[in-house]
Structure 1
């Protein structure tokens, strides 16, 4: 069952599509004569997409498809009228032209338009009406996508990115729990790897959600005055993707070294398993804290969460140091110490590398510097108006504050 947010989005989408169809129909009645053509209403439904840029792109493609079909039909009706071979030629020529023009999913609109115009003998009113109604529908679809834009699902995208970090952290915690409880087998490690691979589906949903935020912000009045969190979410998701790839590499390395059957281990083996389990738990805490940091950055409240990630990274460093001390024992002399293989320890390090706090801070500063010229360009035309409307002293203080913000 859809939640309140999903139901609200469904009702909003239904209302936008209904308004687009009705508006196109009314404009068709006002601007055309003769039999009512619902092509405009149909075009509006097909053109109206979630974002203004998608609607504009769909409108251009659909108008191009209709115009191509109409031109083919007019040319054939002038030469031969409606016959079986003119119909075949119209469909074939329209499809070929649609492929040449790269109309994609709207390619079938070209032969459909050609057949409809050809069926009425290619009369000027039929061709003209279809072109006009198509332009009406495309215009209404693009206009409504700007005038009645959908909300930008920022919270949904933030939650999806956070879910990627949480899934990776839970995967590591489960592995750590198994490692601390009993000797490992290759089959058990294989189940860890399968779960890590399943996180890729969560990451794919998060990537789609971030892409939707980026698309919906374009030409969207609702996005005015709000921070663009898409770049920060994208870079955070890329870091988590790198950690996920390293995590899968870690589990692959463990599976390659693990025995087929559980083998009782000695005190050294139990000590190594416990130490590595602690390391994996600390790394899981780092991933969880990194996800919280990405979420806090989107809300502009990252200072406190940065400290949490710093503590988690410090804890992981201390756990790795404890594990490093165990390297003084040669694993070749103690076969139960196979978890100390270099590939396994290196893979643990690779999981943490993308979560570096200093790198994240530099990326955040770079994004802030990139936004400053945009804010400056947007606010510059408003300065003369502010000086006329606002009291002089307040206007000067506001200008100085904005100047300091831009320089920062």
Structure 2
């Protein structure tokens, strides 16, 4: 029985690392997979429709230029504004024209491939395509690979225009979902990375005295987490940009303020943790051959009881960071009740262990000023994390940004004003969920 429990616990840890924020019940799995299936269906439909329309318009059914162009335009405009969609179409068309020109002059060889790539990159710079520059050589190479040799250049251009038109129409009539779930997952991964760093420090501190080399490694790991913060910030920015010119944004809650605030709080907590490791590092001498000098200095700063207590506090801080990340992720999906309870419990445990650590550090009779500064900095860092992860502040913020969207307020009024609305409300509409003013659906992580 004990081995089975250990195996289940190990599998749960692996599953959490592989899929942070994974559903815990089988009944939740279809809801989490639905956005991915919708994404696959959307791209597949655009490519097939482009191929059918291109065949009707040009009479050519053996060339895949049209579906390829539609696929590139639709998938790359998933999180883009109207301007970015236009840039994408321009990049694809430029790449296709380059490929058509070179395929008319020479076949596919190493030198023609190099010429296509070089010319595509130069044109991308000339047309100032910015982030879409790489799409020009990519489109050109794909056209060279899948284009039929017996298709004329004029027909290839016509097929490209048909595919681009289908892609643009798809983005206008069937806009992509706002990537709220993807952004929530990015924030969650930041929280997990911070927590993993603290867990490693906690385990090391619980088994052995402090060493300068280990503390330096912990500080380096926190600097690595800063890169994850930058990546998550870019994804959260995509949520804000993805709502522009997107009709689906009218029926969904704008979760970008909550995601941005949650990421800012995690970043502030990361700075506090880095400051904690920095002040500890400042009091430790370089590791000696026998580590006697370093061990004595570490024992002066933290005796056995204080070191064990600090180890427990760091583990509890890690639990709070994971719980906070899960809360931010759950808020993006509109289901934060369980996550909020878990965070409240983790914060309460941290406050208790922080009180024990405070008593141990402040009751020591040492009179060295630097030790008092070190211990005070340790306690201040833990307090800073508690302040940043405060649940009441998070609830006030959530009440501000989880307001009904304009369409969810107007839609019930319009519905009630329609003829027979009262009959439908008491008849066939009774007991049915309100598709407009009910819980908003957002893109969940895959």
Q: Is the 8 A contact 2:69 2:92 kept in 1?
A: no
The count of aligned residue pairs is 366
Give TM-score, length-normalised by structure 2: 0.61
Task: Report the equivalent of 2:426.
Answer: 394
Q: Is the 8 A contact 1:53 1:218 kept in 2?
A: no
Gaps of 5+ in 2: 1-17, 20-28, 96-119, 141-152, 439-446
Q: Which has the higher contact order (CA 8 A, sep 6+)?
A: 2
Q: Report the alpha carbon displacement of residue 246 of structure 1 after superposing the two structures with TM.
A: 1.9
Specify the structure having the higher radius of gyration (Cα): 1
| SS, match of residue 87 in structure 2 | helix
CA-to-aligned-CA distance 1:273-313 (integer Å, 9 cap, x gap): 23333332332232232123224434444344434333433
Is structure 2 residue 194 aligned with structure 1 residue 168?
yes
Gaps of 5+ in 1: 70-93, 114-125
Output aligned runs, 1:267-282, within 5 Å: 269-282=303-316
Cα distance in 1 for residues equivalent to 2:168 and 2:129 = 18
Task: Report the equivalent of 2:391.
Answer: 357
Q: Is the 8 A contact 2:77 2:88 kept in 1?
A: no
Cα distance in 1 for residues equivalent to 2:396 and 2:185 = 23
Distance 1:313 1:14, change over 3 A: closer
Q: Report the alpha carbon displacement of residue 140 of structure 1 after superposing the two structures with TM.
A: 0.5
Task: Report the equivalent of 1:263.
Answer: 295
Cα distance in 2 for residues equivalent to 1:391 and 1:41 = 47
Output aligned runs, 1:3-402, within 5 Å: 20-21=46-47, 23-24=49-50, 26-28=52-54, 30-31=56-57, 40=66, 43-52=69-78, 54=80, 56-61=82-87, 102-104=128-130, 105=132, 135-146=161-172, 157-204=183-230, 206-207=232-233, 210=236, 229-259=255-285, 260=287, 261=291, 262-264=294-296, 265=299, 269-325=303-359, 326-327=361-362, 329=364, 331-333=366-368, 337=371, 340-369=374-403, 371-385=404-418, 387-391=419-423, 394=426
Cα distance in 1 for residues equivalent to 2:274 and 2:358 = 22
Cα distance in 1 for residues equivalent to 2:34 and 2:331 = 27
Give TM-score, length-normalised by structure 1: 0.66
Q: Is the 8 A contact 1:186 1:256 kept in 2?
A: no
Structure (1 or 2) with the greater helix fraction = 1
